[in-house]
Structure 1
Amino acid sequence: MKDVVAPAAPVQFDMPISEMIWDAKYRLKEAPTKGPAAEGRNLAVQDLTVEDTWRRIARALAQPEKDADLWEERFYDALSGFRFLPAGRITAGAGTDRNVTLFNCYVMGTIPDSMAGIFDMLKEAALTMQQGGGIGYDFSTIRPQGAPVIGVGSDASGPLSFMDVWDAMCRTIMSAGARRGAMMATMRCDHPDIERFVDAKADAARLRNFNMSVLITDPFMDAVKADADWDLVFNGKVWGTIKAKDLWNRITTNTYNHAEPGVIFIDRINAANNLGYCETIAATNPCGEQPLPPYGACLLGSINMARLVKNAYESNAEICLDELNDLVRLAVRMMDNVVDISNFPLEQQRAEAQAKRRIGLGVTGLADALLMLGLRYGSEDAAAQTEAWMKAIARASYLASVDLAKEKGAFPLFESKAYLSSGFMKGMDDDVRGEIAEHGIRNALLTSIA
């Protein structure tokens, strides 16, 4: 008689709230098509355990591979034990028949300064949010309050009034599903309505569905340091002049009092961007970790550092760098495949994603991992250890993407000389730069701390 191998025990969640969140947000449940539950009051559970969720994701993300069965098992191994955590849109949507996007982060197209163009952009935002994408917009392109509207004999209401319309749309879309809508609004520090933008969250009932950030330029910071005047400009016309330091103090005071607005050092972002030769960034996703161009999209995923610690709390506690490297390489491959299997609300978003194949691999569980190694979060030793881990992840990510380029081809807009001349890539290790120069790279950008 053959030995009977007992099935592996289901994973036990560390805390009840973890299981509650999985059950409420990520566990696959489908409404029956007939019977008393057909109205959706009781959903049929498809993911009986979290292992079923991992299997569903692994199978879906392996579909673009030539040997899908092989990669399904490898991807499942990366997911098991919560070692690699794909972002929520992937966890909730991969391997289902739902018409949803697997990308968390979007920045929408440039808003035209016309009534028709503005409401076209509102429609695109609604379609994107309907599929679960968070969105960012730069409202600097809309003429300021009081500007003449040629041909109709009236004055413009300004970008803040249209942001109110976006806010109402987001509230409506949110009411249609379980996931709260999220938006980012940005505005240049030299827009004539910037003071109104900075003060907007002083009204606690206004723009509740927006995060807001001021696009800070290098010349503005120079003017702040010099206590110089600062011109407010739209379409080449100076609408007013204020003290740069007064605007800076206004920003920081509102941030202290109302937690808004944030600041985005937009010139620094564009100077460092790997793709500065083919795109200009003016906004981010709702939480600010993904600066993106018009119609840009990025997916997210995290290495769970705490799950990689060996001999936790002992004197020989460590993270094995070989295991970290292998897990990063699997994560990069999984996330690259998401670009090919995901739905996109708009064709412009699909084209942008597939032309650049940007992904955002980050970490979670960092503070726990440091504690397991006996390092106090925020200490110099912890900062040094974090820097070493982050460099290892960046190197592994970029080299994994080079290997994918050898196998599947570089991203379509790759230009070796321009790419390697970007601010970020100038600081990359020489061996990694050499590999990219010789073989190209599959993903234009790879890392992000969400």
Structure 2
Amino acid sequence: MNDETLLSDISRDIWDTKYRYREGTQIRDHTLEDTWRRVARALAAVEPHDRATWEARFFDQLRDFRFLPGGRILAGAGTGRRVTLYNCFVMGRIEDSMDGIFDALKEGALTMQQGGGVGYDFSTLRPAGNRAWHVGGIASGPVSFMRVWDSACATLLSTGARRGAMMATLRCDHPDVEAFIDAKQDPRELRHFNLSIQITDAFMEAVRSDADWPLVFPDRHLERGDGPVELRTWPGEDGQVPCRVLRVVRARSLWNQILRASYDYAEPGVLFVDRVNELNNLWYREHITATNPCGEIPLPPYGACDLGSLNLTRFVQAPFTPQAQLDEEALEAAAGLAVRMLDNVTDVSGFPLEHQREQAQATRRVGLGVTGLADLLIMLGVRYGSEASYHLAASVMERVCHAAYRASVELAREKGSFPAFDRDCLLEGRFVASLPSTLRDAIARHGLRNSHLTAIAPTGTISLLANNVSSGLEPVFEAHFTRRVHQEEGDDVEREVEDYACRLWRERGNDGFPPAFVDAHDLDPEAHLRMQAALQPFVDNAISKTINIPEDFDFASYGSVYERAFDLGLKGCTTFRPNPVTGSVLAEIRPPAGTVHCCGLEREPD
């Protein structure tokens, strides 16, 4: 293999600017093959036996873009740099004190400095206007301190660090939830944050019954006073704690405020937090209230996850012909080997904080996903959004999921289960209970190496590296478009970008578009939702998916998108409708100042 594998200029640019290893001005990765060998050698170095054999197998898995590790792995593995190979972190609880707030800020800055995206739950901070009775001041509220984080992220960027990415979540019953909903409507505010509201099942019931909705905060953190008290489970608190009702709103009115903000400004998204916890394999030891910046990895405090995606286009035989089919055996074998590679990342990676290392090694979470799904469908002659596309996509993800779990069982036999493994509790979990009986029996006998195994990330940049295969489970956005790429020398260049399946069709002597071609502009929101729902039963982490909303979509119908997401069993929902603040979904490779957003094409922080 040589660099002819990089068939497009933009793929070469992505490799050269993001993943090629340099030491100062000294180039270490002279070719793409050097990058693959560097990564393969680093991940094989922790194998107890036959390292040369594993290095060769890992290299073969990486070549030809069959498996695309997360960007931090590609950029950092084997370089000897003090960096993390993990894309995704959720930070620890923010203590409701000035010391606690700035300790948390420091931890986040250290994590972003080493290349990690971070997520925070700001629900632990007391609401604005409440007196901090022990010091006599007035609390300024979560949103005010989010601005401090945003400034810190901007400062890190000014030092030459990679693009920062942060997620902020807030409970739907926090008294400052309305301020949180409106926080990004000013285009100058919180541009390095993505926002999600933690939506509970109780809130959705209140919305549908048009009931009152109390906004509350733990009583022991408030100035002494009167008012109704309700028991609530609150982040950072043990069990249910007394929470004082500070205000009461109409649930439907609050829901409509969320919808209007997301319709007009594409934020906040929603996180169906009860479902996240009900389906968490580690339900017996974790309570999750936040995610990584793009939402595909719900994590506990100090949780981390390493990511990688199987490029589905590399497993299609005889594309565009009546004999076109998926090589299922090769896909399952690749999934199994990818799990081993991602598991090794836990032992190779550095961690900005010791708490992160402890959490990662206790659970050994990995997030194996897919990319190129839309191109796979085109190459097989199946239209994205058809009934056949949902069935095929579900079948593909089911194979990946079950192959990943089988591989993790085998790794447990060879190397031991993850330290936090509790056989009886794990087998009682709702997701594990949905696995085939043969897999559950194998877990009962031999254990499991990794607490979680599947996630679908946005994969915007690594998909461009792989000659612009369609990203994650998203439809093809457009067959052709132009992207601006920032060069190492500081200049910007325009690059023509063509969808992988369309290019392959054209190179085989065909005119126009493949018969099954469809792009995002031709799909209604229901098609996006149903595709996400088709894969969700086989994803034990979560899915990063943007529901594209036409600019002229009726607001009166818009609420049904989110309610439909809830009814379909999704763990969260993010929409994007073009608007003056965020612009078009077709973001540039280097977004203009002030327009960082989770719903652009380059969404994964790599």
TM-score if structure 2 supplies the norm length?
0.71
Range moving further from structure 2, 322-331 or 133-142? 322-331
Cα offsets for 1:59-95 (capped at 9, x unmatched): 0000111211110000000001000000000000000
Equivalent residue for 2:16, pick from 1, 10, 23: 23
Instruction: Give aligned pairs, total.
Output: 432
Answer yes or no: is 1:59 the counterpart of 2:41: yes
- In structure 2, the residue matched to 1:378 is 385
Amino acid at match of 1:111: I
Equivalent residue for 1:208, pick from 160, 179, 191: 191
Answer yes or no: is 1:196 the counterpart of 2:203: no
- In structure 2, the residue matched to 1:37 is none
Amino acid at match of 1:248: W
Between the aligned partners of 2:311 and 2:189, the Cα distance in structure 1 is 37
- In structure 1, the residue matched to 2:376 is 369
Answer yes or no: is 1:114 the counterpart of 2:121: no
Between the aligned partners of 1:123 and 1:440, the Cα distance in structure 2 is 37
- In structure 2, the residue matched to 1:353 is 360
List aligned pairs for 1:248-267, cutoff 5 A: 248-267=255-274
- In structure 2, the residue matched to 1:82 is 65
Query: Contact 1:183/1:210 (CA < 8 Å) preserved in 2?
Result: yes
- TM-superposed CA distance for 1:376, in Å, is 0.8
Between the aligned partners of 2:126 and 2:401, the Cα distance in structure 1 is 41
Identity %: 57
- In structure 2, the residue matched to 1:237 is 244
- TM-superposed CA distance for 1:337, in Å, is 0.2
- TM-superposed CA distance for 1:428, in Å, is 1.1
- What is the RMSD computed on CA atoms of the aligned residues? 0.8
Amino acid at match of 1:301: G
- TM-superposed CA distance for 1:11, in Å, is 3.5
Structure with the higher fraction of residues in helix conformation: 1
- In structure 1, the residue matched to 2:132 is 149
Query: Contact 2:76/2:85 (CA < 8 Å) preserved in 1?
Result: yes
Q: Report SS of the residue matched to 1:11.
A: helix
Cα offsets for 1:404-438 (capped at 9, x unmatched): 00000000011111101112112111111111011
- TM-superposed CA distance for 1:151, in Å, is 3.0
Between the aligned partners of 1:48 and 1:76, the Cα distance in structure 2 is 16
Runs of 4+ in 1 over 6 A off after TM superposition: none
- TM-superposed CA distance for 1:318, in Å, is 1.1
Equivalent residue for 2:30, pick from 39, 48, 73: 48
- In structure 2, the residue matched to 1:335 is 342
- In structure 2, the residue matched to 1:162 is 145
Q: Report SS of the residue matched to 1:201.
A: coil
TM-score if structure 1 supplies the norm length?
0.95
Cα offsets for 1:305-347 (capped at 9, x unmatched): 0011111111111111110111111100000000001000000
Between the aligned partners of 1:429 and 1:172, the Cα distance in structure 2 is 49
Answer yes or no: is 1:270 the counterpart of 2:277: yes
Query: Contact 1:301/1:361 (CA < 8 Å) preserved in 2?
Result: yes
- TM-superposed CA distance for 1:9, in Å, is 4.1
- TM-superposed CA distance for 1:44, in Å, is 1.6
Answer yes or no: is 1:440 the counterpart of 2:447: yes
Between the aligned partners of 1:178 and 1:279, the Cα distance in structure 2 is 32
Query: Contact 2:113/2:161 (CA < 8 Å) preserved in 1?
Result: no
Cα offsets for 1:28-65 (capped at 9, x unmatched): 1111xxxxxxxxxxx22111111110000000000111
Query: Contact 1:11/1:50 (CA < 8 Å) preserved in 2?
Result: no
Give unmatched runs, 5+ long, in structure 1.
1-7, 32-42
Amino acid at match of 1:124: E
Q: Report SS of the residue matched to 2:356.
A: helix
- TM-superposed CA distance for 1:178, in Å, is 4.9
- In structure 2, the residue matched to 1:72 is 55
Between the aligned partners of 2:405 and 2:339, the Cα distance in structure 1 is 9
List aligned pairs for 1:396-435, cutoff 5 A: 396-435=403-442
Between the aligned partners of 2:136 and 2:403, the Cα distance in structure 1 is 60
- TM-superposed CA distance for 1:287, in Å, is 0.5
Between the aligned partners of 1:146 and 1:112, the Cα distance in structure 2 is 18
Query: Contact 2:2/2:31 (CA < 8 Å) preserved in 1?
Result: no
Amino acid at match of 1:49: T
List aligned pairs for 1:171-182, cutoff 5 A: 171-182=154-165
Query: Contact 1:11/1:81 (CA < 8 Å) preserved in 2?
Result: no
